[in-house]
């Protein structure tokens, strides 16, 4: 789950990382109060959306007078931000951060990710901050230092020295840097992070280090033990379908195509999407209903898929291992009747009680296209939308 910059900064601040004072507003009427309580006449104003590259897209502004801050904050509230990461439809900005204006002497990059290949957290730092790290990696990979961390987020002393040396921090800044890096690595693991990016991490003219920006993604599977982070979920930042799926604990990702997919198991769902593509179609979504999906979950999944108006046909691909095919068939029939299904429905069932399941579908009176295997199913559903 992604969280907003201001939420990430709250977590960083709690862990002891220096961040500039800020307020977050969602109504124009609150701008004056935010400026008063911050006690500033100069500020940076930033849209709060789940996307990077806000600066380039016009979502980060500097105000040097009260009037300017007010004017710019008003303009950013409700703005539709379109960046490389949002796609052409963009994201609406419902919240704006007003923060103390930082004086920047130098910008650095710091990121922590989970390296799945090595099964360890990986720290990445670069003295070339501020810009996109992908660009740095492409242009000058030597400008990025990678250090593996312990599973508890511990960084070895020798590695810490390497980081300080690589960033060319000395004297007081080196001491601050050590504590900054150690704290970040620890808080990343403690909060079950997937990805944490401080870009830029800045040095001010006095040699102090600050987190000027923060992007933090937390492992969904660990949210149950961080209720205060789980509560930071913002449904406005994804598609409406994703927001519904979030509440139902279904793994759903919206895509651009027109074939709705309902599959059990992430691997089978990926394979199904591949086959649809292979046969010339385009999936409208990834949806894993899970191993233990029941009638109710099947019905909910259908309504979720149908709430996407791009969907022109549905492919159900279920392997009945834990689930029985006859139970799934009953779920499909009930949902199709209840939702007055109008788009073609292709169903491929396999596994426990598959014959009973197929019989139920056949005698349901519904126009359900039955498929024998995955390839057959993909071909049939692609034919329906063509
Ligand atoms: P992003 O574009 O979404 O990554 O947003 P950032 O928060 O990283 O801001 C983009 C850029 O705006 C930064 O790299 C800085 O150069 C600049 N910026 C942001 N905040 C401040 C600030 O307080 N003072 C100054 N001088 N520049 C800032
Ligand atoms: Mn940034």
Given a contact cutoff of 8 angstroms between Cβ atoms, the answer to whether 182 and 155 are in contact is yes
Residue pair 262/361 in contact (Cβ under 8 Å)? The answer is no
Q: Which ligand 1 atom sits closest to the C-alpha of 129?
A: 14
CATH for 239-385 is 3.40.50.261
Residue 91, beta-bridge partner list: 81
List beta partners, residue 81. Answer: 91
User: Which residue positions in the chain have pLDDT lower than 50?
Assistant: none
Q: Which of 139, 114, 25, 322 is nearest to 126 (CA)?
A: 139
CA distances from residue 255 to 29, 87, 239, 343 in whole angstroms, order as listed: 37, 12, 10, 18
Q: Whose CA is nearest to atom 7 of ligand 1?
A: 213
The whole-angstrom separation of Cα 363 and Cα 81 is: 51
**pLDDT, position 245:** 85
Looking at domain 106-230, what is its CATH homologous superfamily?
A: ATP-grasp fold, B domain (3.30.470.20)
Is 82 close to ligand 1, i.e. is its CB under 6 Å away? no
Active-site annotation, residues: 109, 197
Positions of CATH 3.30.470.20 in the chain: 106-230
**Intervals of CATH 3.40.50.261 along the chain:** 239-385
CATH superfamily of 21-100: ATP-grasp fold, A domain (3.30.1490.20)
Task: Compute the distance from residue 173 Cα to the ligand 2 centre, in Å.
Answer: 21
What is the structure's pLDDT at 323?
A: 80
pTM listed for this prediction? 0.84
User: Whole-angstrom Cα distance, residue 238 to residue 146?
Assistant: 31
Q: Residue 211 and residue 227: Cα distance in Å, rounded?
A: 24
CB 112 within 8 A of CB 134: no
Residue nearest to atom 6 of ligand 1 (CA): 213
User: Residue 83: its pLDDT value, please?
Assistant: 84
Instruction: Determine the pLDDT at residue 134.
Output: 87
Q: What is the pLDDT of residue 150?
A: 97
Q: Which residues pair with 16 in a beta bridge?
A: none
């Amino acid at each position: 789950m992604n969280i907003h910059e201001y939420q990430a900064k709250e977590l960083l601040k709690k862990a002891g990382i220096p961040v500039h004072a800020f307020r977050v507003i969602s109504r124009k009427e609150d701008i004056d109060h935010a400026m008063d309580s911050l006690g500033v006449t100069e500020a940076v104003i930033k849209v709060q959306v789940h996307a990077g590259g806000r600066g380039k897209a016009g979502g980060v502004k500097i105000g040097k007078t009260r009037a300017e801050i007010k004017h710019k904050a008003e303009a950013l509230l409700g703005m539709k931000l379109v960046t490389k990461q949002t796609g052409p439809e963009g994201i609406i900005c419902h919240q704006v951060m007003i923060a103390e204006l930082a004086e920047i002497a130098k910008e650095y990059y710091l990121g922590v990710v989970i390296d799945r290949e090595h099964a360890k957290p990986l720290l990445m730092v670069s003295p070339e901050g501020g810009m996109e790290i992908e660009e740095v990696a492409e242009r000058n990979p030597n400008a990025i230092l990678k250090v593996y961390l312990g599973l508890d987020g511990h960084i070895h002393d020798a590695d810490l020295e390497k980081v300080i040396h690589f960033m060319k921090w000395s004297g007081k800044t080196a001491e601050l840097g050590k504590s900054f890096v150690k704290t970040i690595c620890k808080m990343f693991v403690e909060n079950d992070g997937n990805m944490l990016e401080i870009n830029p991490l800045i040095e001010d003219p006095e040699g102090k280090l600050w987190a000027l920006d923060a992007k933090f993604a937390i492992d969904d599977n660990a949210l149950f033990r961080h209720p205060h982070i789980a509560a930071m979920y913002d449904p406005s930042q994804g598609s409406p379908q994703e927001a519904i799926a979030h509440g139902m604990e279904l793994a759903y990702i919206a895509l651009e195509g027109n074939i709705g997919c309902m599959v059990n198991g992430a691997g089978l769902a990926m394979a199904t999407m591949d086959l649809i593509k292979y046969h010339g179609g385009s999936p409208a979504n990834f949806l894993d209903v899970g191993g233990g999906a029941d009638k109710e979950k099947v019905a909910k999944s259908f309504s979720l898929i149908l709430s996407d108006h791009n969907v022109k046909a549905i492919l159900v691909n279920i392997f009945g291992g834990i689930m029985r095919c006859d139970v799934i068939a009953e779920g499909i029939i009930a949902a199709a009747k209840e939702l007055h299904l109008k788009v073609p429905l292709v169903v491929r069932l396999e596994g426990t009680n598959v014959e009973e399941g197929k019989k139920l579908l056949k005698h349901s009176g519904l126009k359900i296209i039955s498929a024998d295997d995955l390839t057959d199913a993909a071909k049939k559903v692609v034919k329906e939308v063509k």
